Amino acid sequence: MPQVMELFVNGQSVCRADFNETRAANVHISTDPHSDRSGLWPLYYWVNGFQWGTDAYSLEWLKGPIEPGQTIEVRIHDSQDPATPAQETLVVNTRPCNFCDRPASDVPFMVEKGPFSRICSDCVKECSQLINAKSTPI
């Protein structure tokens, strides 16, 4: 049965998101570092999803203010109903190749393994040539 992460603010569900083998979620509560620093920093909750195997890496599901006295609750439970977050902004992956540091837009093809490992097809070719040269008896 699929697992669902659900975020409640004051007992009201504000975000439901599926978990599977290619997705993870992060619920973060903090002051907003981008807010102006003249007064008290407002508290915010952030709900981010991470997805690998596609170009959309960060899902940026939800962000909202927290007022004093409000409660934030995260529940993870089984659900038969597929869930989609209340809001979902797909942010195109701009992370570069771990070997040559070029972005996906500058290489023919990017190979991904898990959320943090990326290698471009040019580097795969180069590695392949090195491996072949090392393993071929002279």
Q: Does 110 bind Zn ion (CB under 5 A)?
A: no
Q: Does 100 bind Zn ion (CB under 5 A)?
A: yes
Of 77, 24, 70, residue with least CA distance to 45: 70
Structure tokens at 70: 């409000």
Task: Indicate the DSSP class of residue 105.
Answer: G
Segment contacting Zn ion (CB under 5 A): 9-17, 45-53, 56-64, 92-100?
92-100
Q: Does 123 bind Zn ion (CB under 5 A)?
A: yes
Binding characters for Zn ion, 45-84, by CB under 5 A (x = yes): ----------------------------------------
Q: Are 29 and 48 in contact (CB under 8 A)?
A: no
The binding site for Zn ion (CB under 5 A) comprises 97, 99-100, 120, 123
